[in-house]
């Protein structure tokens, strides 16, 4: 029934700009031989136009991570070609339905716990925090999502979060999976863990006050060269883009601002995926026009990928006197102890759990990131 209601809700999206001109009524309206239902049955938005662009960019970055996770970084989509079953399952994660783990409904609802009302514009850091929490309910993709704080990535914390013991590998006399030996938790590239949980690493940054500080430009561009890169979330005030690369001093980005109608799973279980991909060529903008609030994304499927990323950061990012962010081995002593995030103990699925805002209290709110020096 919910999918049926979702279809009715989206029948009216083409009239989003004119909704205020129509009465709130159960009576059907007929336009050019088609009937439309004005009352959707709910009190929330029937479209994400005007507020959902950063959420859509977050979906893009996460979708790229899942493609790397299941299909490999070299996989490319081809129109009207039969796709792997993993691809169809990835699409299911992002359908505009409340029961899909990374739908805009779920992201907006989880944003309530970050102090954002439904329909309010998100910043890069808020989207990162929302994805981190939603991933706790996603058992299929099984991602470890780490969002850095205070411009600092802590190797020890990431190793502790991503290093897990295989099921049944420990006995009652051995350490449980969340109490790995210090050698696995704290050491860098020389240490290996029994099993690595694929890592989505997001680094929120503020690269200036009102505009990007030019001293960060070269380091920012270097991040797009890294084989672990998932691009960056950012844009202009209240106008988000998904940045995927650069050409000279211009950033290449995908623009989420093309409003499209709702797409649902067909009876065959296949999703009509054409609108999930670029309907126009990527665009470019001068890097100097970038809003200083951004979030870098990286994906490390295996531990060696993360170790390689650390080496690249040491070589290309930390060589500057005014560093874009810091990479440290040990958890800072003045920070609260690091506890890997875990799904709250609830008796429902993730989708049902966050359908009610009263349960959002189970999550600790995190302060906005701040830059320590500009």
Active site residue 170: no
Of the listed 53, 101, 163, 193, which one is catalytic?
Answer: 53
194 vs 191: CA distance, rounded Å: 10
- Active-site choice (96, 138, 157, 255): 255
Contacts of range 351-357, beta carbons closer than 8 Å, 24 or more positions apart = 351/98, 351/99, 351/100, 351/101, 351/106, 351/137, 353/137, 354/106, 354/109, 354/110, 354/134, 354/137, 355/98, 355/109, 357/109, 357/112, 357/113
CA distance 316 to 338: 27
Query: How far apart are the C-alpha atoms of 163 and 178, rounded to whole Å?
Result: 9
Question: What are residue 247's DSSP bridge partners?
Answer: 250
Say how far apart CA 215 and CA 374 lie, in whole Å: 9
Which of these is catalytic: 17, 178, 249, 257?
Answer: 257
Give dist(CA 32, CA 326) in Å, integer.
59
68 is catalytic: no
Confirm whether 53 is a catalytic residue: yes
Contact 190, 312 (CB under 8 A): no
**Nearest Cα residue to 135 out of 238, 195, 61, 192:** 61
- Can you list the positions of beta strands (E) in the chain? 29-31, 34-36, 144-147, 152-154, 163-164, 195-196, 199-206, 229-236, 239-247, 250-254, 283-286, 293-300, 326-328
Provide the annotated active-site residues: 53, 255, 257
């Amino acid at each position: 029934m919910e999918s049926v209601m979702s279809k009715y809700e989206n029948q009216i999206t083409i009239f989003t700009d004119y909704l205020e001109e129509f009465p709130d009524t159960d009576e059907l309206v007929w336009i050019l031989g088609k009937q439309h239902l004005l009352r959707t049955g709910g009190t929330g938005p029937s479209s994400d136009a005007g507020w959902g662009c950063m959420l859509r960019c977050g979906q893009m970055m996460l979708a790229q991570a899942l493609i790397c996770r299941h299909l490999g970084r070299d996989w490319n989509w081809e129109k009207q070609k039969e796709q792997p079953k993993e691809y169809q399952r990835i699409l299911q994660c992002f359908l505009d339905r409340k029961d899909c783990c990374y739908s805009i409904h779920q992201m907006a609802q989880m944003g309530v716990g970050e102090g954002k009302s439904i329909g309010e514009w998100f910043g890069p850091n808020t989207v990162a925090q929302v994805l981190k929490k939603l991933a706790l309910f996603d058992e299929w993709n099984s991602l470890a999502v780490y969002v850095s704080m205070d411009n600092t990535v802590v190797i020890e914390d990431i190793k502790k979060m991503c290093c897990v013991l295989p099921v049944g590998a420990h006995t009652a006399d051995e350490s449980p999976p969340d109490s790995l030996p210090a050698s696995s938790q704290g050491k860098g590239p020389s240490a290996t863990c029994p099993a690595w949980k694929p890592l989505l690493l997001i680094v929120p940054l503020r690269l200036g006050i009102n505009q990007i500080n030019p001293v960060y430009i070269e380091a920012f561009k270097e991040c797009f060269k890294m084989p672990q890169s998932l691009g960056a979330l950012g844009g202009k005030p209240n106008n988000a883009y998904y940045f995927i690369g650069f050409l000279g001093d211009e950033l290449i980005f995908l623009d989420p601002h093309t409003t499209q109608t709702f797409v649902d799973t067909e009876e065959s279980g296949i999703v009509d995926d054409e609108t999930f991909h670029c309907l126009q060529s990527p665009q470019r903008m001068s890097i100097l026009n970038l809003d200083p609030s951004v979030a870098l994304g990286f994906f490390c499927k295996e531990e060696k990928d993360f170790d390689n990323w650390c080496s690249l950061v040491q070589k290309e990012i930390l060589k500057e006197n005014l560093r874009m962010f810091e990479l440290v081995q040990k958890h800072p002593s003045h920070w609260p102890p690091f506890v890997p995030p875990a799904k709250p103990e609830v008796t429902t699925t993730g989708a049902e759990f966050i359908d009610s805002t009263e349960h959002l209290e189970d999550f600790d709110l995190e302060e906005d990131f701040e830059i320590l020096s500009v």
